[in-house]
């Protein structure tokens, strides 16, 4: 892996820096990491996997000097470079040697088949983690914070001063460590050390450059609805007056986030997302007017090919990784005032829209009123009225399509072979359920069964739509499932003869026999 420094004026890569080995997330994708600049913009700081160690490194902006900063016996989970040159960094609570010894001991004594075992996954160390193989059930998200046998040990926060002296920091006293399950670049941990950002008991507030106004993300009527943002964007003046953002793009989206203030303190820049559409907006708090800078049927972000993280403020511009179903990720810049878009860097110039099949968004509903969407890709030069075989992938389709969650059924490859290829996006954070859906007191088992029924409904709905439009041959439909959608697909196979072929990539929480008898 390498970091590339792009000149914003020319769009040229001015330096390429060795970024070390890949850091993988629990779904087999690259774990996003956002590097940090020094206050004078002369040095770039980043986490780097070298051998079997994850440490903080830095490189000069011309790429000629690369230096290791931390020398810890435990892996670095997150860090924050301060304007005064000090570095705060968080390390795993167990050292690498302690982790290896614990894993060896477990291997030698055997593994108890208890509730910690994930059906359908290898029991022993087989998953790449920080340069070696670890056991999948110890990956973060399954009860562990650092992907290891001793991953639940309390992480340790250190401060490295400008002279290179290391000091242990009590995170409780310092109030500097914030745990977040969706943190950028560190799996479960971020460091919040910016004095301009303060958290209150009822909202998150972000002070303007002048310190007079504050942007607020405050709980709203949807705070108990898991598939809505649950917050409203507000501004509070120095006198205490609170106003709420007046535009629909910041009212009841699936997700809503604060990006930053414009340098003059006149605009609050925010991002929101609903049903496969991402918005980038600027709320002029003086005129109480919202400018939609970008509306994209795709994603706007800062890592993971734009799938995750927030866009970044850079003066009066906003920098984003932008991608869509038929648009490969690009580094783009949006002017806060005009919304004008400028492509700074395209890492895939040979993949152009005129060389791959066109895509469109298909709105989908089930019998309960839940809403989702699908991304349909057709062969290049497709003629209306030609009925094609259909291949369906699931269950996350953000950005450039690469085959759904497991990346096993690449839509553009199948479209190039003459198929209609559809990614059915039914991820919980991208669907809109009816109000109160999650507050019915249903058991986890009942919610899983409801999910199976919803999935089957949506499969039937999208096949019906494409059949009525004359695009597909309903007798030639195949579908693929990965992880949770493997369970849903196996359930669908017991309920309908709609599919000519099915591809189950992982076992899922239930197999087809369970699904048959449950149904």
φ, ψ at 103 (rounded to 5°): -65, -40
Q: Give the SS3 label for residue 487.
A: helix
Q: Say if residues 154 and 144 touch (Cβ distance below 8 Å).
A: no
Structure tokens at 111: 């593994």
pLDDT at residue 53, rounded to an integer: 95
pLDDT at residue 404, rounded to an integer: 84
pLDDT at residue 516, rounded to an integer: 60
- 356-518: CATH architecture: 3-Layer(aba) Sandwich (3.40)
Residue-wise burial string across 344-371, b where 16 or more C-beta atoms lie within 10 A, e elsewhere: bbeeeeeeeeeebbbbebbebbbeeebb
Digits of tens for pLDDT over the chain (519 positions)?
999 998 888 888 899 999 999 988 776 777 777 899 998 999 999 999 999 999 999 999 999 999 999 999 999 988 988 888 899 898 888 899 998 898 888 888 888 887 777 766 777 788 888 888 888 777 654 444 445 677 667 788 899 998 889 988 875 443 444 433 323 333 334 444 433 333 333 456 788 888 788 888 877 655 455 555 567 888 998 888 999 998 888 876 778 889 999 999 999 999 998 878 899 999 999 999 999 999 998 899 887 777 778 899 999 999 999 999 999 999 999 999 999 999 999 989 888 878 888 899 999 888 877 888 899 999 999 999 999 999 999 888 888 998 887 788 899 999 999 999 999 987 655 566 665 555 566 676 676 777 788 888 889 999 999 999 999 999 999 998 887 788 888 888 888 888 899 888 776 666 656 656 555
C-alpha dist (Å) from residue 222 to 181, 280, 281, 432, 439: 20, 21, 21, 12, 11
- 202-353: CATH architecture: 6 Propeller (2.120)
pLDDT at residue 192, rounded to an integer: 45
From the number of C-beta atoms within 10 Å of its C-beta (0-12, 13-18, 19+), residue 181 rates as: exposed
Structure tokens at 126: 């087989």
Residue 205, CB-side half-sphere exposure with 13 Å CA sphere: 20
pLDDT at residue 151, rounded to an integer: 67
For the chain, the structural domain boundaries read: 1-194, 202-353, 356-518
pLDDT at residue 176, rounded to an integer: 43
Give the β-pairing of 267-274 and 312-314.
Answer: unpaired
CA distance 492 to 159: 53
Give the β-pairing of 472-481 and 388-395.
Answer: parallel
Which of 453, 271, 464 has the alpha carbon at shortest distance from 362?
464
């Amino acid at each position: 892996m390498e970091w590339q420094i792009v000149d914003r004026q020319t769009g040229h890569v001015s330096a390429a820096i060795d970024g070390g080995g890949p850091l993988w997330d629990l779904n087999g994708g690259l774990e996003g990491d956002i590097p940090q600049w020094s206050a004078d913009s002369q040095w770039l700081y980043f986490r780097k996997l070298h051998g079997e160690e994850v440490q903080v490194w830095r490189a000069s902006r011309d790429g000629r000097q690369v230096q290791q900063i931390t020398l810890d016996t435990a892996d670095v989970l997150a860090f924050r470079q301060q304007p005064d040159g000090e570095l705060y960094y968080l390390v795993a609570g167990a050292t690498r040697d302690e982790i290896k010894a614990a894993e060896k001991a477990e291997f030698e004594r055997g593994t108890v088949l208890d509730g910690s075992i994930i059906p359908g996954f290898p029991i022993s160390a087989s998953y790449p983690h920080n340069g070696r193989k670890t056991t999948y059930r110890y990956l973060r998200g399954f009860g562990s914070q650092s992907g290891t046998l001793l991953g639940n040990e309390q992480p340790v926060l250190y401060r490295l001063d400008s002279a290179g002296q290391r000091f242990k920091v009590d995170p409780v006293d310092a109030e500097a460590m914030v745990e977040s399950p969706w943190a950028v670049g560190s799996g479960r941990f971020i460091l919040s050390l910016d004095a301009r950002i303060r958290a209150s008991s009822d909202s998150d507030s972000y002070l303007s450059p002048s310190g007079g106004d504050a942007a607020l993300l405050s709980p709203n009527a949807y705070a108990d609805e898991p598939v809505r943002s649950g917050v409203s964007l507000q501004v509070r003046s120095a006198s205490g007056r609170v106003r709420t953002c007046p535009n629909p793009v910041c009212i009841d989206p699936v997700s809503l986030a604060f990006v930053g203030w414009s340098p003059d303190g006149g605009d609050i820049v925010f991002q929101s997302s609903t049903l496969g559409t991402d918005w980038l907006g600027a709320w002029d708090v003086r005129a109480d007017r919202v400018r939609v800078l970008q509306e994209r049927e795709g994603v706007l972000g800062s890592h993971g090919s734009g799938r995750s993280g927030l866009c970044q403020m850079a003066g009066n511009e906003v920098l984003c990784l932008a991608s869509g179903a038929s648009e490969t990720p690009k580094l783009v810049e949006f002017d806060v005032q005009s919304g004008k878009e400028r492509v700074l860097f395209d890492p895939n110039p040979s993949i152009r829209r005129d060389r791959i099949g066109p895509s469109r968004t298909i709105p989908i509903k089930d019998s309960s009123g839940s809403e989702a969407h699908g991304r349909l890709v057709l062969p290049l030069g497709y003629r209306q009225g030609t009925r094609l075989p259909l291949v369906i992938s699931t269950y996350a389709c953000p950005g450039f399509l690469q085959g759904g969650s497991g990346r096993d059924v690449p839509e553009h490859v199948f479209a190039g072979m003459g198929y209609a290829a559809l990614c059915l996006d039914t991820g919980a954070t991208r669907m809109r359920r009816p109000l109160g859906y999650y507050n019915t007191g249903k058991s986890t088992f009942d919610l899983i069964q409801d999910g199976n029924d919803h999935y089957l409904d949506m499969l039937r709905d999208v096949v019906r739509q494409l059949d009525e439009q004359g695009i597909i041959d309903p007798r030639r439909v195949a579908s693929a499932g990965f992880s949770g959608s493997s369970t849903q697909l196996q359930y669908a196979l017991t309920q309908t003869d709609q599919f000519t072929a099915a591809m189950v990539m992982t076992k899922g929480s239930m197999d087809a026999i369970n699904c048959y008898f449950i149904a």
